[in-house]
Amino acid sequence: MLQVNFIRENRQEVIEKLTIKNFEAKEIIKIVLELDDNRKKIQKQLDDALAEANKASKEIGALYKQGKAKDADAMKARSSELKKLSKELGDQLDKTTKELNEKLIQIPNVPHPSVPRGNSEEDNDIIHQEGDIPELDENAIPHWELASKYDIIDFELGNKVTGAGFPFYKGKGAKLQRALINFFLDKALDAGYIEYQPPLLVNEESGYGTGQLPDKDGQMYHVGEDNLYLIPTAEVPITNIYRNRILKVGEIPIKNVAYSSCFRREAGSWGAHVRGLNRLHQFDKVEIVHIAHPNNSYNVLEEMREHAASLIRELELPFRVARLCGGDLSFTSALTYDFEVFSAAQKRWLEVSSVSNFESFQANRMKLRFKDADGKTKIAHTLNGSALALPRIVAALLENNQSPDGIKIPGSLIPFTGFDIIN
């Protein structure tokens, strides 16, 4: 959530930058500033009424002692009026503050100056590409057929037990999943991250804090009776560890990592590009989360970007990095890099990671602050990234490494799988 003072001080710049996200902000910002002006006016009236009431309560006793009962009675009547007025003003203040917040949460984060204009992923900037594209023979098959051939992933069984998008991993397929999770976690620990194992359900406040609610309400699984949400990513519980916190000097930067299952409804997804592991409702992911000083958050973003790239390199997969355009950028992000690996049998790029800087947007919603070296309380910056999401990594590993003898396992993974080929 943007701060009102930031909007007020940078009004035209905010309006112009939000057009990059294809968001027309002029009218809503006008309403926000009017509501904030009204809030300040009511707050002053309330403060004045409370100050006068406090002064009156002190004077009543003194007037009685001085024998000025008539003046004391008049003061009591005025005090009663002030209490009534204060109650009315307090109610007005609550109502206006609520209306202000309801408008503020509709305004997306302002994009970083490097974010290009565009409407969809086709307009993203490809800023880096490395690795050789595998050349498969004419008998190569996509990962969903490989999964069936080697009996390592059962999509039909998942459909029977739960529904589409909830596969069973079995045998070497299950072990490959576990190997990738441990590989990603160990690499994060080597890089100085602290590991968490978070809950898979969060409350409404947590979903609001990181910006999934109300923006992504329709994509989250909701447990109505308890008003809890299945997490779409470990970003939500891990970042919310610091909700309503003032961190001490020296507590930041913070580097956390977590493995979790993730749940997304992906409403409206269909077609050939969602077959097999390409788009699931439940999937595994290792997530990295940073709490950073505002002066250093973009250096941290580049560090996270290199961390994700190093994992893909070790898996020997060709990949590219895209800087998302405004139309493809999330509601909460200021700048996002997407990582895509090449799926040789499908002959297409598959997204496996997003690494994002939210600047102060999430932290302002969560009231996540820190004490700086100068003793002042400031709003922190939050960042997160996939390092990595498993389904499409598995898809690319199966397809790119298929051979007449079976599916070869990259050398970096063999210590984790305990086997070098799936056959």
Q: What domain range is 154 assigned to?
A: 121-422
Report the number of distinct structural domains present in the chain.
2
Is 365 contained in some domain? Answer: yes
Among 70, 104, 138, the domain boundary falls at 104
Tell me the one-letter amino acid at 403. Answer: S
Is 111 contained in some domain? Answer: no
Tell me the one-letter amino acid at 113. Answer: P
d(CA 317, CA 132): 8
Is 208 contained in some domain? Answer: yes
Q: Is residue 88 domain-shared with residue 134, that is, in the same domain?
A: no
pLDDT tens per residue across span 352-383: 999 999 999 999 999 999 999 899 999 999 99
Is 174 contained in some domain? Answer: yes
Query: What is the DSSP code string of 68-127?
Result: -HHHHHHHHHHHHHHHHHHHHHHHHHHHHHHHHHHHHTTSPPPPPTTPPP-SSGGG-EEE
- Is residue 382 within a helix (H) or strand (E), and if so which, with residue range? strand 381-389
Is 311 contained in some domain? Answer: yes
Q: Is residue 89 domain-shared with residue 139, that is, in the same domain?
A: no
Q: Is residue 156 domain-shared with residue 16, that is, in the same domain?
A: no
pLDDT tens per residue across span 86-144: 999 999 999 999 999 999 999 999 999 999 999 999 999 999 999 999 999 988 999 99
Under a CB-based contact definition with an 8 Å cutoff, are residues 52 and 89 in contact? no
Q: What CATH number is attached to the domain comprising 244?
A: 3.30.930.10
> Which pLDDT belongs to residue 267?
54
pTM of the model: 0.93
Q: Is residue 192 domain-shared with residue 331, that is, in the same domain?
A: yes
> Which pLDDT belongs to residue 216?
83
Q: Is residue 33 domain-shared with residue 148, that is, in the same domain?
A: no
Q: Where are the alpha helices (DSSP H) in 150-231?
A: 155-161, 172-190, 204-209
Q: Is residue 362 domain-shared with residue 397, that is, in the same domain?
A: yes
Q: Is residue 90 domain-shared with residue 144, that is, in the same domain?
A: no
Q: What CATH number is attached to the domain comprising 58?
A: 1.10.287.40
d(CA 409, CA 152): 14
How many CB atoms are closer than 10 A to CB 55?
12
Q: Is residue 311 domain-shared with residue 338, that is, in the same domain?
A: yes
The pairing of beta strand 125-130 with beta strand 319-323? antiparallel
Q: What is the mean pLDDT of the chain?
A: 95
Under a CB-based contact definition with an 8 Å cutoff, are residues 323 and 401 in contact? no
